[in-house]
Structure 1
Amino acid sequence: MTMATAAIGIALMVLTGCGSDSEGSDGGGGEVTSPTTSTPTPPITTEAPSVDPEADGAAALRGDWEIPSEDYVLHLIEDGTFVQDYQGIEDFRTGKWSVDGTKISLVGDDGDTDEGTISGDTLVFQLGTATRVK
C-alpha cells in the first residue's frame, strides 16, 4: 500500500466518525436541510382609473373595437370597464379604461397598462389599429 492510499483511507475513517446519528442530543434528527431565501413580492399598487361617463370623448368610445389581423376585440363598457377577446379566447383580459384628451389607457386587473391614441375613428395601440365593429 502506498503512502497516499493510506493517507486517504485514514482521512475517510476520520470523516466518517464525524457524522451525527438521528439520536443525537442536538435535536436535529439527522435531517439535512438546505438554506432557503425568499424575496418578498411587493404588492401591486396601481390604482385603476375610473371613467366618467360624461367625460369628453369617453361616451363616444363606448362599444366594440377590433383588430382583425390579430383576432382581437376590445369591448369598452359604459361603467368604465373593458373586456378583451384575443385569438379566440373570450374575456382574455379585463380591467378599467380611461380617456385623457387623445390618450386612452387600459389598466388590466393583472396590473399591466396598455396605452393608445385616439386618432379619428380609430384607436392606435402597439398591437395595431382598432376600428369600430360594425
Structure 2
Amino acid sequence: MSSRLFVAALAAVLLSGLAGCAKDEPSTAPETSSPSPSPTATVESDDPRSALVGSWRANDVDWTVHFAEDGTFTEDFEGNVDFRRGTYRVEDGIVLLVGDDGNTTEGELSGETINFELGMLERL
C-alpha cells in the first residue's frame, strides 16, 4: 500500500469516527445562564477584578500596574513603559498577574493596597 493511499484511508477512518460523535442528541448537562468570561471579556461589577480597574503604584521600586476592564494588565517598571503585559484574576483575595512572559506573580489584596514580593501597590 502506498503511503498516500494509507494516509487517505487513515483520514477517512478518522473523519467517519468524528462524524459519529456529532449526533443531534439532547444534552444531559444543564445549561448555564451565561458563558464563563474569556480573558478579554469586560469585567462585570460582581467580578472581584472590577475593584482593581485603574492604576496602582509602588513608589519605592518605581513600579506601576495598570488594570484594564477587559481583564488585562500592563506593568511599567523603572522607567520602562509596558515592561510586561498579561491577564489578571482574583482568587480568595489573591491577585494573580499572569504575564505573557509565562510568569505568574501573586499579591495579597488588602483594601486599597496589593502586597507583592516586589513591593506594595497603592491605588493612584
Considering the TM-score relative to the shorter chain, is it more than 0.5? yes
How many angstroms does 1:90 deviate by? 0.1
> Can you give the 5+ residue segments of structure 1 that lack an aligned partner in the other structure?
1-48
How many angstroms does 1:114 deviate by? 0.1
RMSD between aligned residues: 1.6
What is aligned with 1:130? 121
Q: Trace 1:49-60 onto structure 2 (pairs within 5 A).
A: 50=39, 53-54=43-44, 55-60=46-51
Alignment TM-score, normalising by the size of structure 2: 0.64
Q: Is the 8 A contact 2:57 2:122 kept in 1?
A: yes
2:99 is aligned, of 95, 100, 108, to 108
How many angstroms does 1:120 deviate by? 1.3
Q: After TM superposition, where is structure 1 displaced by more than 4 Å over at least 4 residues in a row? A: none
* Greater fraction helix: 2
Q: Is the 8 A contact 1:53 1:80 kept in 2?
A: yes
Identity %: 42
How many angstroms does 1:111 deviate by? 0.3
Choose 1 or 2 for highest CA Rg: 1
> Can you give the 5+ residue segments of structure 2 that lack an aligned partner in the other structure?
1-37
What is aligned with 1:117? 108
